[in-house]
Structure formats: structure tokens, C-alpha cells
Amino acid sequence: MKGSPSPAFLWPQDVAVKKAGASEFGYVMRKREPRFAKITRYLAREVNPSFKVLSMAGLSYADNFLKLHAEGLCYRDINRDNLFFDPDTGDVRICDNDNVDVDGQLGGILGTGPFMAPEIHRREATPSILTDLYSLSVILFEMFMIHHPLYGQRVEQFAEPGRGRELLLLGTDPLFIFDPDNNDNAPDPALDLNPLAYWPIYPEFLRKQFVRAFTEGLIDPQARVLDREWQKSLARLRDCIFLCPGCGVEVFYDVHRLKASGNLAPCWNCDRVPLAPVRVRVNDHTVMLTAGAELHPHHLDPDRLYDYSRVLGSVSSDGRILSNLDGQTWTVSTLSGGSLPVAPGSAFALVESLTEYGPEYAIAKALRSGLAHGNPHTPAEIYQLWAVLYNLMGQILRAVDLVFGHLAWSGLFGYFIGMAVMRPRSAVKLLTVGYLTAATLHTVWDASDGFNLPLEMAVGLTGYCLMAIAILKARKISPSRKDNFASTMTKMRTVPPSLPVQVEPALVIAGKCFPMRVGLVQMNDVPGLEPAGGDGMVGEFNVNPKDPRMIGLKNLSASVWVRRTGSGEERTIEPGKSVHLTGGSTIHFGAIEGKVR
């Protein structure tokens, strides 16, 4: 008997018989630890693992079945009852390994209906590594979508389950519920809520993998997604997870959506669109450096792919600090131009600020430049203060790049565009002069960046001054100057400080004034009106829920009222209905009349 391909398989270790020569026998194997839950418990929502744990569990299943297949063996009956995982870590266990046989070997086990490949349902093939790949894809789809990939609207064509339904849906005419070219078996909007909710959550690369598994892979066994391909995709999915800044739930970084639309998908929980998180590119992996994120040998050592046995880097719970738990020193290149060593056991901030990185780099530069030469007794605080001031200057200069730089020459070019619109006969000349002026300033700025600070500042200030001149000139010659922002602001400043006192809106009925505030109007306040209810109330002031500035009056009496606006328009107000009150309107309460002032 071959040994277990990995510790995840609860592999038979010996054979047990009642007595010598007996035909009945059993296997002796390791006992499954209590921390492992069957996948069916997760599908029943009895356990609620995180997306990170699900990704890890799916990756582990793919990894372990790859090891089994590498030995020329096939499992034959991959289904949800044989697979277990730890809801806290994603570790897995695989049971019922008496199913395992040599690939291509005839045996008595065909599999479990919903997980059997179409060719087995049609009795055109027997279990093999290729059919294992199909079953693995079904398991992974169920884990991430909590639904079978082939059970959509066509299920309702059958009154009850049976061999006929399984043969059509899973064997002779299988159709993926998210087939991009055929929606005949799309999820039922009333019944299949899980796949409709989960499908858009995941990144495009994972959805494409499932589409391939259940379109091409349904027809051609050779086109099925390999276990090592699932390994790569699920490891990538694990690295894509970050926490929504708005509500803290796990969401996914989808680079395809980000490139196509410029933003990530809205959070599935709070519906806010998160900004792209801080991330690091390590070898071929892009890892989200969100709170609690970890780096493993899988990320840092190309020879140890899918090795998550050790944590080599960890992000703090607030998402600001990355700790080096590796045995090697890391090097961080900062925005200030410095290069900082990060020794094992130390950490560095993921966001550079006024007091991080810059001061350390400035102190090192001061020592190199001889600032401390001949002053061995200078307190360390002096160097720290100088370093903070030096870094402050660097932060200011970065702001100058935006304020005096791109803003300046884009504004300057905008002036010439406006002039070209006003003077179309000279448009070509004006646009040429404007473009060359802005482009020249920009080119000189870029050429001086990083090595000629005085020239860089001079170019920035020149660009800003030219933009200011252009703004003043444009304001002077603008045909709509009186409506420009600066002109209207000047007019606003000339308004007298004393404004007329505003009178509170009110409804006057029979000489009695009712301020239009939210509240009830009693029966004895309005003679002749009978309340519809027993509380004695004949009306209620309320506000429009869409516009709190709009005051309305609700008819709580037993009579029909009539409102007439200042323009003569009339409207009846049935009991229980409300009407918007506007100045100058009158309301006839039967024998008496009210007027809105």
C-alpha cells in the first residue's frame, strides 16, 4: 500500500478483520480532529469562515489533489461529504480514501451525482484524474457561491429530483448558470439568491476560471482547469483580500475592473466604493497590505510556492506598520530618496509622513555632509529637530510640485484656449503659443527635478506668476465678467449688514394664527370641523421627507377641504391626504376659510 500523498488525507494505515480468512474487513486510519467541519456545515451556514479562510481551504484542496494525481492516482468520488476544513485556518482533511484507485483503473465507484463529470453520467467514461478535475471545480464553485454551477432556472422544469433530471442537467445537456453565451439556465431571481449575490463580489480572473471550467470543461475533458491552475488562482485571490475602510468587511481588489472603470467595485456590505489599498509587488505576487495581512515563504521565496507554514511579514491591526519577521534584513526605499534597512524583528510605516523616514534620512545626510564634524557634544535632539525641519521642507516642495507645477501650466494653457475661442481668427497662433509656453515650463521643471533645487523653485514660481497674470487678464477681458465668481463675491460684500426681519410662515383661520410648525391642530381650534378619529385632532402640520423645507397640512377631519393657490388653481384634500402650503394660498374648511401668510 502506498503511503499518504500528504497529511491532509486520512489515509488507511492498516486492514482490520474480524478473524483470519473472513471476507469482511475495515481500515484503520487517523481520527479526524474535532476542529474540522464538513463542507456541508458551511453550506448550511452552521459555520461562517472568512473569505481568506475559504481561499486557503480551496487552495489546500487543489494542492492536495495535485499531490494525489502526481502519484498516478485518482480519488474517483470527490464530493462535499468527504471534505472537511478548519473554519478558523483553512486547513483541510480528506476522508473516505478507500475510493482512491490507479488512474484509468476500472472500479465499482462512479461518484456522487452532482459532482460526477458529464461523461460519467452518460456512461461514456469511468472515473479518472480528468473527472476528478471536474469534481474539484464543482466543489470550489459551491464553496464560493454556495450553489451548484449547473442548477439554474431549468431545474424548475422537473417536478421532482430523479435520474432523468440529473441526466439532462448534469450529463446530456449541461449548461453553466453563468454561461456568457447562453442564459437559458441563468439563476432564478427568486430562488437562486446566493450565486446572484456572490458572483459579482469576486475578481474577474476567478470568474473567468469558473466560466472556463463549466463551458469548455463541460465539453472537452482536456480543457478542464487543472489543479495547479486552481492553486495559482486561489493564492492570488487570497492576496487580493482587503478590509473595506467604510465597514471593515473583506472585499476584493480587482485590477481588471480598476483599469477598465478607474475604481473598484462597491463594497457588498455598505455599498461604498473603496479606494485602492496599499499593496506590494513581490516576485509575481501582488499582496494587499491591509490590516492583519501576512507575507509567507510563498511570497518571498520563488522556490517555496504555496508554502504558508511561516509568517515572514505582518501588517499591524491598524494597517500602518509592516513588521519584518523574516530572518533577513529588508531594504525600504522612501519618497525622500533614502534607503532604510529593516532588520529582522523591526518594522516600518507603510505611509511616509513628516516624522517617519524623512528625519532618519536627513540625520544620515547631515552626518555624511559633515554637519556634526567638530561638534561631538551636540545633543541628539538638535539633529532630530533639524531633521524634522529638513523633511518639512521636502514635504512643502512636493506640494509645490502640484500647486506651482502642473496646476500652473495647465491653467496657463487654459487661458490661451479661452483666448482662441474668443478670437477664432488667431486660434492656431494662440494655441501654439500657449502649448509651447506650458510645455517648455514643464520640460524645464522635469529636467531640474531632484538635482537643481533653485532652478526647480524658479520654474515653479514663474509658472504660478504667469498663471496669476493670465487669470487677471482673463477676468479683465471676459465678456461675462459681471457673472464671474470674483465679481459676484465683490457684490456679496456690498450687501448691507442689516437684513429685513423674516416673518414666520403661518396659517390664519378665523382670525387665529397657527405657526406652520410640525404638530397637530385640535378640534376646538377650528370651529365647525369634526375629527375623523377619536383623538380630537382635525389636522397636522408635517414636512416633506424629501425636502424638509416644504411644509404640508394633513387632513385629519371628516370633511373634504379645498385649497386655492394665488393663481386660482384649486385642489381638493380628502380626509387622510396632505397638501403643500405656499404663501398666498387659501384653504376652505367648509364654512370657514384659512389663509397662508
CATH 2.60.200 residue window(s) in the chain: 506-596
CATH numeric code, 506-596: 2.60.200
Whole-angstrom CA distances from 466 to 412, 414, 435, 461 are 7, 12, 14, 9
For residue 130, give the nearest of 212, 9, 229, 225 by alpha carbon.
225
Q: What is the pLDDT along the chain (597 residues), one digit of tens a residue?
A: 578 899 999 998 777 776 666 666 677 888 899 999 999 999 998 999 999 999 999 999 999 999 999 999 999 999 999 999 999 999 999 998 888 989 888 777 888 999 999 999 999 999 999 999 999 999 999 999 999 999 999 988 775 666 777 888 899 999 999 999 999 999 999 899 999 999 999 999 999 999 999 999 999 999 999 999 999 999 999 999 999 988 889 999 999 998 898 889 999 999 988 888 888 888 889 999 988 999 999 999 999 999 999 999 999 888 888 899 988 888 887 655 667 788 888 888 876 554 454 444 444 445 444 444 445 555 555 555 555 565 555 555 555 555 555 677 777 788 888 888 888 888 898 889 888 888 887 777 666 654 566 776 777 778 778 878 887 877 777 666 555 555 555 454 444 444 444 556 777 777 777 777 655 555 456 777 778 777 778 788 777 777 767 778 887 888 888 888 877 788 888 888 888 777 778 888 777 888 887
CATH numeric code, 14-236: 1.10.510.10
Whole-angstrom CA distances from 64 to 105, 117, 128, 231, 400 are 21, 20, 16, 10, 56
Burial class (CB in 10 A: 0-12, 13-18, 19+), 518: exposed
Q: Are 439 and 459 in contact (CB under 8 A)?
A: no
Task: State how far Cα 338 lies from the chain centre.
Answer: 33
What DSSP state is assigned to residue 503? P
Report strand pairing: 321-324 vs 347-349.
antiparallel
pLDDT at site 165:
78
How many of the other CB atoms lie within 10 Å of CB of 572?
12
CATH 1.10.510.10 residue window(s) in the chain: 14-236
